[in-house]
Structure 1
Amino acid sequence: MLRLVLAIIVFLGAMPAQATEAGWALLRNGGHVVLLRHAATTGTVEPPSFDIEKCATQLNLSDRGRQQARKIGALFAARAAPVERVLSSRYCRTLETARLAFGDSLVEPLAALDKPTEATIEADVTAVKEIIRNFSGSDNIVLVTHLENIQALTGASAREGEAVIVGLQGENLHVLGRIVF
């Protein structure tokens, strides 16, 4: 019985590594869309004084999150995963994740990637799908966003700093691969 439990633990521990390797294989060829959840933050709930223009009123990246964002960029470079364009939510934690990982020059803020509300979710999902539908680059496009957007677009969850590689099939996005940082 102990061997069975150990075998299951080893198998489950290997799954993220295998998923990550498969994800890198997809990105090496370019032409893919990556939904990247922002790196690790200082908390879990947005302060009540939230203001999109003032980072001091938002959840921000922790020191670990900044290290994670730099690692994301270093791994994209080391794994020869070309990035053509980076779109980011306007929240400070997503912009900082994008800039630390990919540099200021590639990062473009996009309101449709902000944390959605009930009033904006449908329009945001439509806008992001339109960007994906129109993407025809030979390199990859990275969309740095929030868990709620990834769930609304794919039905899948993602950890802080996790990349979800997606493809459009008909009107729906399907998860093609994942990379855990």
Structure 2
Amino acid sequence: MRRLVLLVLVLAGLTAPAHADSPTITPDDIGPGHVIVMRHALAPGTGDPPDLTLGDCGTQRNLDDRGRAQARALGEALRDAGLTGLSVLSSQWCRCLETARLLDVGEVRPFPPLNSFFRWREREADQMAALRDHLASMPADAPPTVMVTHQVVISSLTGVFARSGEAVVVRAGTRPVAVVGRLALER
């Protein structure tokens, strides 16, 4: 069953037409009103163990050394573009919180609407409504914000299947969510 769910998610990402052709932008293109919605850095595996407990990293899929290096490099690219002192919101999963902290671009705050619903699809509608409401309520000229989350959240929000460490930039203060482009962060 788990393989079937993974196959469906992969195929959905390959066939999702929405914003698949979004332009590539660089950190230098980020300005007021932009929200960087980033998938956590590399964390080997898929999903989480059945005994997942928020706050207990030993029960979750976590970043490995490659993921930590990736998060640091992504943060360096953002800092090199002058993106510091940002508001950073994160899923409560350990791999997202660690990615957010390793970016080192601002104070990290847990934000439950960014949590994964990979195993709990019944949570998707309410969670996505809360996330869309939050984005719509942000001032259109707000300083850039970073949100670290999961592939399922990014796909549901934007129609983009993000790889580990990939980011999609959206506009604050819009409804529906307006995708600006995919953020090129690889160094």
TM-score, scaled to structure 1? 0.80
Q: Which amino acid aligns with 2:111?
A: L
Gaps of 5+ in 1: 1-17
The equivalent residue for 2:90 is 88
Q: In structure 2, what is the equivalent of residue 164 of structure 1? A: 168
Measure the CA separation in 2 of the matches of 1:132 and 1:83.
Answer: 19
Kept in 2: contact 1:30–1:81 (CA 8 A): no
Residue in 1 aligned with 2:54?
Answer: 52
Shift of 1:134: 1.8
Helix, strand or coil at the partner of 1:172: coil
Q: Deviations over 1:80-136 (max 9, x none)?
A: 234520100000000000001126x61000111100222211111111112211222
**Aligned mate of 2:42, from 40, 43, 53:** 40
Partner-residue secondary structure (3-state), 1:143? strand
- Specify the structure having the higher radius of gyration (Cα): 1
- For 1:139 and 1:107, how far apart are their aligned partners in 2? 15
Q: Give 5+ residue unaligned stretches, structure 2.
A: 1-22
> How big is each residue's C-alpha offset from its partner over 1:5-50, in whole Å with a ceiling of 9 and x where there is no partner?
xxxxxxxxxxxxx82xx232431x3320111000000222311221
Shift of 1:59: 0.3
Q: Which residue of 1 aligns with 2:107?
A: 106
Residue 152 (str. 1) matches residue 156 (str. 2)? yes
Task: Give the 3-state SS of the residue equivalent to 1:144 in structure 2.
Answer: strand
Cα distance between partner residues in 2 of 1:84 and 1:98: 11
Match of 2:128 in 1: 125
Q: Which amino acid aligns with 1:108?
A: R
Deviation of 1:161 (Å):
0.2
Give the whole-Å Cα distance in 2 for the aligned partners of 1:146 and 1:121. 12
Correspondence for 2:71: 69
Q: Identity rate of aligned residues, in percent?
A: 36
Matched, 1:178 2:179: no
Partners of 1:80 and 1:173 in 2: CA distance: 25
Whole-Å Cα distance in 2 between the matches of residues 94 and 102 of structure 1? 13
For each residue in 1:51-96, what CA deviation from the matched residue of structure 2 results, as whole angstroms up to 9, or x when unmatched?
A: 1121011000010000011111111110123452010000000000
Q: Is the 8 A contact 1:73 1:102 kept in 2?
A: yes
Aligned mates of 1:138, 1:45 — CA distance in 2: 33
Aligned partner of residue 119 in structure 1, secondary structure = helix
